[in-house]
């Protein structure tokens, strides 16, 4: 539904909804709870202090840091910022963190920079957060990048001072009963709310002489261009709920492509597909919102398009089941060439079953294991085909679970090509599906499945097999693993052998294999999958 940019923006604007919660100590301490530690609340200059409690490897904490940085860019001269860290100190004095020792090292490095070069902390964090898995190491590269004295940082990080600051930070977090990253306080008041706007509002409430940035523009126009003929497009309207929640009294509306206004917006969008989200130009006056959305905004006449959707519907194309000549070429529905390959127009092929999977999807793997039982139940009554879901562009494959999945897709296709008789290949597929992350695929090339034959196929024609095989998933617009199609036409979902039997028998009720129920598991839902 959404592009990766939407996911990153949603992480940025909704980080307080989610958090990394610290581990509770395995043993209880007999020591008394620490006294409240006085922080920087009472500044001599009267400015409020924003204290951000994080873990240096928590993605939600990193998103909070990005949001606070944006707010600081806007009104930072009116408040102070301080970072503290969420860790446990055990009764024997050991420090523990949710993401382990690397995170502890990252926490210490950041505390040291905050002390020795506080004006450089945001630049340092930006560098470290680009590679959060390595915060225990990349501080050495990020120090010179951010203009921090590496010698001073090294002395602090590797010496007693750094650990002492982390222990002090742990006490501050404990005193305020902070257990999750991120948690934010303005002075002694905890910030409630799931977005940067809530933080901005809290900061501005604490500022005595409020700057103009504390008064966001009202009534930003937000328009969703869609098409009422597209059922799947309706789910995109949910994004307006986020907009209404966070912007200052936005004026939202949904416009259909069929209207004159819709046609005009479609021209401005400069795209073939809908839905498209538009913002009015006044969004630029809402400084925080514009900063948050800027990377996804694109000028479109007197508006901006918000490029976070993965639009799915061509409003100018033929719709294949509405008895209307949508594209004006004199042909309707399945008589139109544009619909010829669509599933709804496919010719029924009784007794066939297709499954579409990703070889390293846990749901797809369970589905393939289930097919061993299904094939035994429907011997001679079913023609079964395995298809793989993968993207192929410019000579390269992209799969949800990376290159190892692409490689295993190819190996499985080679097993299918060379060991198709009586579905012998299912022995390999089921074996691999039980341990799909194991790189030793040859352990499953046994009992008549020759690894030498497999290797020759992989080398000589593996890529070609995957390119050809993946076309069916594209044609039928299949994205979720597993997806089943009975009789070349009827799509259904399922994972267990019983799910498959029921789905197949709806289209083939007279098959003998339909007579008896197969294995099921009430804890495994038919709709589970990857990539949906």
What confidence tens digit (pLDDT) does each residue in 282-328 have?
Answer: 999 999 999 999 989 999 999 999 987 788 899 999 889 889 998 89
Element containing residue 503 per DSSP (H, E): helix 497-505
292/362 same-domain check: no
Q: What is the pLDDT of residue 259?
A: 98
Cis check: omega of the bond before 275, within 30 degrees of 0? yes
Domain of 255, CATH number, reads: 3.40.30
| Confidence label for 24 from pLDDT (cuts 50, 70 and 90) | very low
Nearest-angstrom CA–CA distance, 358 and 409:
7
168/57 same-domain check: yes
Asked if the structure places residue 231 within a domain, the reply is yes
Across the chain, how many H-helices and E-strands are there?
A: 16, 19
72/139 same-domain check: yes
Three-class DSSP category at 315: coil
The token pair that represents 475 in the structure block: 């044609």
Residue where one domain finishes, among candidates 148, 181, 212: 212
Asked if the structure places residue 485 within a domain, the reply is yes
Domain of 174, CATH number, reads: 3.40.30.10
Nearest-angstrom CA–CA distance, 257 and 239:
18
Range of the domain at 470: 347-514
Count CA within 13 A, CB hemisphere, residue 510.
Answer: 2
Question: What residues are paired with 84 via a beta bridge?
Answer: 53
Q: What is the pLDDT of residue 43?
A: 54
Nearest by Cα to 252 from 264, 272, 238, 263: 238
Q: Give helix 59-75 / helix 196-206 axis angle, nearest 10°.
A: 40
Q: Are 368 and 428 in contact (CB under 8 A)?
A: no
Residue where one domain finishes, among candidates 212, 239, 274: 212
362/499 same-domain check: yes
Matching residue, tokens 């102070």? 80
What is the residue-averaged pLDDT of the chain? 91
Decide the pairing of beta strands 80-85 and 49-54.
parallel
Q: What is the pLDDT of residue 310?
A: 81
Q: Pick the range with the lowest mean pLDDT from 126-135, 149-158, 194-203, 498-507.
A: 194-203
Asked if the structure places residue 7 within a domain, the reply is no
Nearest by Cα to 507 from 527, 485, 530: 485
pLDDT higher than threshold 60 for residue 38:
no
Asked if the structure places residue 523 within a domain, the reply is no
243/208 same-domain check: no
359/501 same-domain check: yes
The 10 Å Cβ neighbour count of residue 7 is 11
pLDDT higher than threshold 60 for residue 429:
yes
Summarize the confidence of residues 55-64 as an average pLDDT: 94
Three-class DSSP category at 298: strand
Q: How many separate domains does the chain show? A: 3
| Confidence label for 449 from pLDDT (cuts 50, 70 and 90) | very high
pLDDT higher than threshold 90 for residue 439:
yes
Q: What is the pLDDT of residue 9?
A: 54
What share of the chain has pLDDT > 70, as a percent? 92
Q: What is the pLDDT of residue 532?
A: 63
Residue with the larger pLDDT of the pair 102 and 14: 102
161/240 same-domain check: no
29-38, 41-50, 278-287, range with greatest mean pLDDT: 278-287
148/70 same-domain check: yes
Q: Give helix 4-13 / helix 59-75 axis angle, nearest 10°.
A: 70
19-23, 338-342, 476-480, 501-505, range with greatest mean pLDDT: 501-505
Render pLDDT for 467-503 as a digit per residue (tens, 0 to 9): 999 999 988 989 999 999 999 999 999 999 999 999 9
pLDDT higher than threshold 60 for residue 1:
no
Nearest-angstrom CA–CA distance, 532 and 400:
11
284/413 same-domain check: no
270/142 same-domain check: no
Q: What is the pLDDT of residue 338?
A: 86
Nearest-angstrom CA–CA distance, 33 and 159:
27
Nearest by Cα to 429 from 446, 444, 417, 447: 444
Nearest-angstrom CA–CA distance, 301 and 294:
16
The token pair that represents 499 in the structure block: 């799910």
Nearest-angstrom CA–CA distance, 415 and 387:
13
List of E strands, 191-237:
221-226
437 contacts: CB under 8 Å, gap ≥ 6: 360, 404
Q: C-alpha distances in angstroms, 411 versus 359, 390, 408, 520? A: 10, 14, 5, 29
The token pair that represents 37 in the structure block: 């530690």
Alpha helices in 274-354 (DSSP H): 287-293
Sequence length of the chain is 532
DSSP letter assigned to residue 148:
-
Q: Pick the range with the lowest mean pLDDT from 181-190, 254-263, 309-318, 496-505.
A: 309-318
Give me the torsion for CA of 193, 198, 204, 207, rounded to 10°: 30
Summarize the confidence of residues 48-70 as an average pLDDT: 95
The token pair that represents 516 in the structure block: 């008896």
479/402 same-domain check: yes
Order of strands across the sheet with 276-280? Answer: 251-256, 221-226, 276-280, 303-306, 297-300
Asked if the structure places residue 3 within a domain, the reply is no
248/356 same-domain check: no
Residue where one domain finishes, among candidates 257, 286, 306: 306
Phi/psi for 221 (5° steps) reads: -75, 130
Asked if the structure places residue 426 within a domain, the reply is yes
| Confidence label for 422 from pLDDT (cuts 50, 70 and 90) | very high
Q: What is the pLDDT of residue 507?
A: 98
Cis check: omega of the bond before 482, within 30 degrees of 0? yes
Q: Are 79 and 50 in contact (CB under 8 A)?
A: yes
Q: What is the pLDDT of residue 140?
A: 98
Q: What is the pLDDT of residue 192?
A: 85
Nearest by Cα to 391 from 272, 309, 473: 473
Asked if the structure places residue 314 within a domain, the reply is no
Asked if the structure places residue 341 within a domain, the reply is no
Q: What is the pLDDT of residue 510?
A: 97
The token pair that represents 208 in the structure block: 């005595």
């Amino acid at each position: 539904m959404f592009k990766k940019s939407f996911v990153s923006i949603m992480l940025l604007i909704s980080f307080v909804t989610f958090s990394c919660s610290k581990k509770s100590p395995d043993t209880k301490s007999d020591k008394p709870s620490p006294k409240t530690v006085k922080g920087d609340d009472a500044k001599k200059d009267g400015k409020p202090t924003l204290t951000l409690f994080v873990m240096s490897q928590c993605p939600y904490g990193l998103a909070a840091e990005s949001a606070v940085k944006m707010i600081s860019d806007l009104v930072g001269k009116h408040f102070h910022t301080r970072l503290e860290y969420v860790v446990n100190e055990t009764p024997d004095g050991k420090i523990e963190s949710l993401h382990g020792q690397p995170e502890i090292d990252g926490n210490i490095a950041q505390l040291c920079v905050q002390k020795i070069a506080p004006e450089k902390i945001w630049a340092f964090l930006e560098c470290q957060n680009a590679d959060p898995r390595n915060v225990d190491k990349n501080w050495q590269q990020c120090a010179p990048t951010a203009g921090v004295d590496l010698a001073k940082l090294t002395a602090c990080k590797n010496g007693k001072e750094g650990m002492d600051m982390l222990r002090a930070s742990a006490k501050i977090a404990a005193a305020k009963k902070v257990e999750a990253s991120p948690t934010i306080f303005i002075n002694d008041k905890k910030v409630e709310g799931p977005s940067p706007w809530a933080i901005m509002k809290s900061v501005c409430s604490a500022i005595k002489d409020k700057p103009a940035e504390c008064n966001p523009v009202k009534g930003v126009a937000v328009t969703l261009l869609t098409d009422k003929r597209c059922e799947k497009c309706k789910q995109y309207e949910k994004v307006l709920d986020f907009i209404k929640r966070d912007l200052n009294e936005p004026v939202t509306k949904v416009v259909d492509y069929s209207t004159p206004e819709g046609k005009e917006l479609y021209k401005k969008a400069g795209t073939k597909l809908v839905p498209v989200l538009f913002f009015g130009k006044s969004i630029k006056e809402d400084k925080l919102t514009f900063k948050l959305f800027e990377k996804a905004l694109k000028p479109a006449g007197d508006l901006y398009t918000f490029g976070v959707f993965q639009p799915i519907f061509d409003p100018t194309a033929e719709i294949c089941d509405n008895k209307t000549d949508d594209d004006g070429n004199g042909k309707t529905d399945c008589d139109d060439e544009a619909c010829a390959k669509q599933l709804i127009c496919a010719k029924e092929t009784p007794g066939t079953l297709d499954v579409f999977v990703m070889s390293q999807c846990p749901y797809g793997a369970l589905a393939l294991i289930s097919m061993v039982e299904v094939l035994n139940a429907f011997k001679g009554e079913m023609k079964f085909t395995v298809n793989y879901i993968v993207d192929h562009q410019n000579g390269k494959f992209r799969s949800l679970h990376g290159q190892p999945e692409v490689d295993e897709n190819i190996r499985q296709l080679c097993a299918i090509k060379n060991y198709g008789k009586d579905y012998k290949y299912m022995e390999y597929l089921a074996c691999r599906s039980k341990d799909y992350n194991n790189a030793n695929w040859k352990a499953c090339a046994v009992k008549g499945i020759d690894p030498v034959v497999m290797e020759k196929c992989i080398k000589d024609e593996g890529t070609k097999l995957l390119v050809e095989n993946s076309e069916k998933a594209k044609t039928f617009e299949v994205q979720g693993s597993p997806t089943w199609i009975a009789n070349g036409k009827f799509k259904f979902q399922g994972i267990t052998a019983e799910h498959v039997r029921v789905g197949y028998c709806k289209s083939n009720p007279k098959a003998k294999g339909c007579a008896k129920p197969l294995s099921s598991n009430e804890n495994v839902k038919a709709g589970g999958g990857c990539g949906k």
